[in-house]
């Protein structure tokens, strides 16, 4: 049985949890991981009256098995490599570099498409809440945490509706706090927690960011 109707429902439940559990210092900024994390992040930001923006992260998929992450990259030149996967699948350094270069081009395209002329938010001294629609391997979120840490925030909170228990445990050691509403065991996939798990479009991402900017950015 699924736990959430859709990403909006998941975001509202997650927003309530963040509002009650997380101590905000220095103002808060919600950074959602596109695309699926943006509808969730919109509701979290609305619940706590925070700035909403995106943090671009791209999974580095194993060639031929792209759903399997051998690492991830994030805005600011951050790269996380899952060495156990690269060793298990015999991924050469050249192959890793080729995949990373392809994903870097897509990351830059999306950053321009989503943010437009808006500057990146200042993170120093603020509580940064990283939001996605769920955690499976955690590669993308680990890259996001590393990217944000470079901005010297007061605290980094990872907030997701659902996640694999072992992944949430790993993130708890890298972020300052993790809010995960559900950790099903066995964990099959993020989408298994949702009734409706359609792909979020670029247009939906831009619309939600624009709506947030017009109403309750701070």
**pLDDT tens digits for 1-47?**
579 999 999 999 999 999 999 988 778 999 999 999 999 999 999 99
Tokens of 76: 């600011």
Q: Which of 56, 139, 37 is nearest to 104 (CA)?
A: 56
**What confidence category does residue 111 fall into, taking pLDDT thresholds of 50, 70 and 90?**
confident
What end-to-end distance do the CA atoms of the chain give, in Å? 38
Domain with CATH 3.40.50.2020 in the chain: 7-56+120-215
pLDDT on residue 218 = 47
Q: Is the peptide bond before 186 cis (omega within 30 degrees of 0)?
A: yes
pLDDT on residue 139 = 87
Q: Which residues contact 89 (CB under 8 A, 6 or more apart)?
A: 62, 65, 68, 70
216: pLDDT strictly greater than 80: no
177: pLDDT strictly greater than 80: yes
User: 172-204: b or e for each residue (b if 16 or more CB lie within 10 Å)?
Assistant: eeebbbbbbbbbeeebeebbebbeebeebeeeb
Q: Which of 167, 120, 117 is nearest to 142 (CA)?
A: 167
64: pLDDT strictly greater than 50: yes
pLDDT on residue 28 = 93
Contact indicator for 26, 193 with CB cutoff of 8 Å: no
Q: 7-56+120-215: which CATH architecture?
A: 3-Layer(aba) Sandwich (3.40)
């Amino acid at each position: 049985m699924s736990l959430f109707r859709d990403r909006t429902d998941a975001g509202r439940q997650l927003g309530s949890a963040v509002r009650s559990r997380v101590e905000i210092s220095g103002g808060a900024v919600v950074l959602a991981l596109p695309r699926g994390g943006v509808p969730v992040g919109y509701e979290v930001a609305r619940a706590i009256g925070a700035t909403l923006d995106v943090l671009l992260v791209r999974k580095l998929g194993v060639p031929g098995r792209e759903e399997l992450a051998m690492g991830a990259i994030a805005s600011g030149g951050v790269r996380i490599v899952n060495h156990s996967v690269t060793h298990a699948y015999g991924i050469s350094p050249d192959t890793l570099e080729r995949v990373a270069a392809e994903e870097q081009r897509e990351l830059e395209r999306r950053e321009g498409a989503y943010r437009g002329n808006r500057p990146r938010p200042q993170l120093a001294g603020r509580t940064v809440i990283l939001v996605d629609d769920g955690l499976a391997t955690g590669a993308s979120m680990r890259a996001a945490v590393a990217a944000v840490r470079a901005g010297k925030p007061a605290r980094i909170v990872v907030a997701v509706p659902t996640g694999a228990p072992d992944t949430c445990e790993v993130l708890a050691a890298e972020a300052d706090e993790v809010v995960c509403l559900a950790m099903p065991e066995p964990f099959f996939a993020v989408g298994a927690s949702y009734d409706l798990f359609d792909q979020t479009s670029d247009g939906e991402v831009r619309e939600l960011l624009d709506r947030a900017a017009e109403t309750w950015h701070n």
